[in-house]
Amino acid sequence: MPDPGRRDSLKALAGALAGACLPSAAVAVSTASSSAAIAHPSAETPVAATRSGRVRGYRDRGVLVFKGIPYGADTSTRRFMPALRERPWHGVRDALVQAASAPQRKPDARISEDCLYANVFTPALRDGLARPVLVYLHGGGYDSGSGSSPLYDGVRLCRRGDVVVITLNHRLNAFGYLYLAQLGGDDYAWSGNVGQLDLIQALHWVREHAAEFGGDAGNVTLFGQSGGGAKIATLMAMPAAQGLFHRALTMSGQQVTAAGPRAATQRAQHLLDALKIAPEDLSRLRTLSLQTLVEATSLRDLSRIEDTALYFGPVLDAKSLHRHPFYPDAPAQSAAIPMVIGNTRDETRAFLAGDVANLALGWDELPGKLREHQYVDLDPDTVVAEYRRLYPDYTPSQIFFAATTAGRSWRAAIIEAETRARQGAPTWVYQLDWGSPLDGGRWGAMHTLDIALMFDNTGQAGSRTGDDAQARALAARMSDALIALARHGDPNHDGLPAWAPYSLQRRETLLFDVRPRLVEDPRAGERRLYERVPFVQRGTF
């Protein structure tokens, strides 16, 4: 028998999202050209029709590009609430340059609470070919980043696979995930997950406009790295997202558990205390300047061993998220979605190899370094002894990077793959073993390395792969796997060895390297070592 409370909350969410789609008063947009130059001018300027007005894009290497298309209204008047639909405009709106990123502490572009925008890359408009639609969710945890990075440029992927590529901006950190439901009234009921609700609103926009941009609304693939993968994992457990996407690929981004309401409320109270706002004056949060609220998010999170800023992420709020994304099992609503789960072999080199001391550790230093950075409550001496048994040729620094990687996101990837395998859900697992050639190879197969490979953007600004023949060949294999997943629901293609789905018996994993190969249960000894302790996602307790 259905749970009446859950049914009522789903109805409430449906009402909130329906309200978010009500049109506001029209706003005029000049039909004059943007002051920013078009990257590749063309006499045949593409114009697309959206639900709120027409947009003018440009051509780049034969691909039609539209940047900064609004899928929701300015959120400054809806702080901590579900967004409203974007306001209609008259005439043709220029979609030639990136729009503002969400408010964050270290932006690489202009920030604004008016941040609900999509960028679209497509081979054609309105041609009825129903191409797969690939929607990328950016990394940066739930705290930073945007869909506007040059590394996420979709032109090459679009051309390679004859697909539609879309990147998104949405609310982050306190603006998207500050849980105030237990401190305020009904206006704050959805506050802990409005960043996720922005993504759901964006996916409704994608479904509504797929045909206009030459895509298939019934074949939408979500892919994302780091925080983007975690957002995908969370969407897989959110009832309001069901049916809005049909395949998923995550790169070094998992979400096993969400924050509980007690922990999320404690963090919110910590922020209120720093701002000197009493619960009865909660409305003051809505009138604080953007910068004041952004600066407050840098508070140290006392629940985490590392010295890091306050954690913001999805909350088990019993309204939009009723269960942990991948605990105690995989979400039933997503069992039919083909999914690829990936990680890199040397994740933590991205964060820890910048300190040259970590590249030349001694055996006496190693236990203390592990105690500080492995984020798992295992005795460091036990960890070192087991790694020396498993890999007798490893140096202390090699053990340091391997152990910190195994104790962080790799462990969560294994849990997600295991729960999907128990469910019988179609799942493929990869590990990027090929390492960056930059700086003498110090970075290895670092966190973020697979972004440029999956986008086929090895020559793009921000890529850490280099752009030689080896990098381009690996990018071809990885981007073709993404395209195959999107087109067929299976990542196998002629450039790879046969890639079997993940099973508990064999733990099949494709190792992407100069010569990709399928192996069974790579790093089995490390897996068994870290299974000795329970896993709870950092920041969610």
Please state whether the peptide bond connecting residue 491 to the residue before it is cis, i.e. omega within 30 degrees of 0.
Answer: no
Token pair 């460091």: residue: 380
Catalytic pick from 226, 320, 463, 479? 226
Cβ(217)–Cβ(246) under 8 Å? no
Query: Shortest CA distance to 306 belongs to which of 226, 402, 407?
Result: 407
Cα dihedral 472/475/480/485 (nearest 10): 180
CA distance 438 to 445: 11
| Helix (H/G/I), strand (E/B), else coil: 525 | helix
Q: Sign of the CA dihedral 22, 211, 50, 238?
A: positive
Query: Shortest CA distance to 13 belongs to which of 382, 412, 317, 360?
Result: 317
Which structure tokens are listed for 480?
């073709």
* φ, ψ dihedrals at 364, nearest 5°: -70, -30
CA distance 106 to 323: 32
Cβ(216)–Cβ(129) under 8 Å? no
Cβ(340)–Cβ(249) under 8 Å? yes
Cβ(250)–Cβ(223) under 8 Å? yes
SS (H, E, C) 391-435: CCCCCHHHHHHHHHHHCCHHHHHHHHHHHHHHHCCCEEEEEECCC
Among this protein's residues, is 226 annotated catalytic? yes
Catalytically annotated residues: 226
